[in-house]
A and B are shown apart, each in its own frame.
Chain A
Amino acid sequence: MKLKRFTKDSEIDLSDEIKTLEKRLALLEEDVYGNLKPWDRVQMARHPERPTTLDYIQEIFTDFIEFHGDRYFGDDPAIVAGIAFYKDFPVTVIGHQREKIRRKT
């Protein structure tokens, strides 16, 4: 990404190198994610740095407004919900929100 921006801004053309690098990245990804053992998958699913709904929302939607509460007795932090724009369309967004940092118990 940095290199791409650099190429845009400067005289030196690095696009060939970028292409090679991107190809290598794609191959590596395929290699790593294509040969996952069941236990690897479990560990990935439990990875503390794995993005959660709020991370995805930030990347995908604009003007997200989160709403809380069930209008009866409480609010559930495990579910996030709200309204937002996806491109130009107003949408309702609902998702699970798992804990980012696992508690040490």
Chain B
Amino acid sequence: MRGKEFIVCSMKTLEEWDQQLISTNPLGFPDYIEKLEKDRVKTGLNEGVVTGKGLIDGQATAFSVMDASFRMGSMGSVIGEKIARAVEHAREQSLPFIIFTASGGARMQEGVLSLMQMSKTSVAINRFSQEGGLMISVMTHPTTGGVSASFASLGDYNFAEPGALIGFAGRRIIEQTTREKLPDDFQTAEFLFKHGQLDRVVHRHDLKPLLATILKMHQKGGAHQ
């Protein structure tokens, strides 16, 4: 499912943030601009993440939804910036922050600038968290590389969809480096759950009531004040 459809089924969108941000080609990487343009036409999105404010069961929340159909959801400067800004908005407006991740990792065409996004988003989330902000991360298939190693794993609650691939380096790289055969379910949501890395594995159908209940429990001063 595409990112936008995800929003439609889980919440009511009130506003979208930073839609105007568009990637440039800071390293002069061959064909990068053309590839971006192609994906813009293909997906109708400016970048691989949509951020904004929405309602889940009448409760306001900030959200970021990544879309793997745009450059495999790879994280370049714009994705990092939009997510960091969404967290900042959530902090300023005292909203919870929910992120749906889907990413192949850092965007290679932006080189080290892509890796910078890991620290930028993490710092923003840390500040948000220090001030008591609630963050829920929902990892969808696939959530890998620099995304899994930064904001995707930084939720107060970390959830994942059944069967989602979640990891840092891929299976082949690890097998070749360690010269060991990895288990078949390696880097699946269920494997991570079994090894204590996820709080819950939750199917898309059950997601909305779960998020709504958690938001209700985390309202300031209890649910009825």
Contacts and interface: CB of A to CB of B under 8 A. Distances in A.
Given A65-B210, A65-B213, A65-B214, A89 B222 contact: yes
Interface string B145-175: 0000000000001100000000000000000
Contacts of A89: 222
A74 B217 contact: no
B197 A69 contact: yes
The size bracket of the interface on B is: 20 to 34
24 contacts: A63-B217, A65-B213, A66-B200, A67-B157, A68-B193, A68-B196, A68-B198, A69-B193, A69-B199, A71-B158, A73-B195, A74-B195, A75-B194, A75-B196, A83-B214, A83-B217, A85-B217, A85-B223, A88-B222, A89-B222, A90-B216, A90-B217, A90-B222, A90-B223
Contacts of A72: 196
A27 B11 CA distance: 56
A69 B198 contact: yes
Contacts of A85: 217, 223
The size bracket of the interface on A is: 10 to 19
Interface of A: 63, 65-75, 83-85, 88-90
Contacts, number: 51
Interface centre among B198, B210, B219 (most CB of A within 10 A): B198
Contact of A63 (B194, B200, B213): B213
B35 interface: no
A14 B197 CA distance: 57
B223 A73 contact: no
Contacts of A74: 194-196
A73 B194 CA distance: 8
A74 B193 CA distance: 8
Contacts of B213: 63, 65
A89 to B, nearest CB: 6
Given A83-B214, A85-B217, A67 B199 contact: yes
Interface centre among B193, B199, B210, B214 (most CB of A within 10 A): B199
A27 to B, nearest CB: 41
A54 B56 CA distance: 28
B224 interface: yes
Nearest to A74: B196
Nearest to A83: B217
A88 B196 contact: no
A90 B196 contact: no
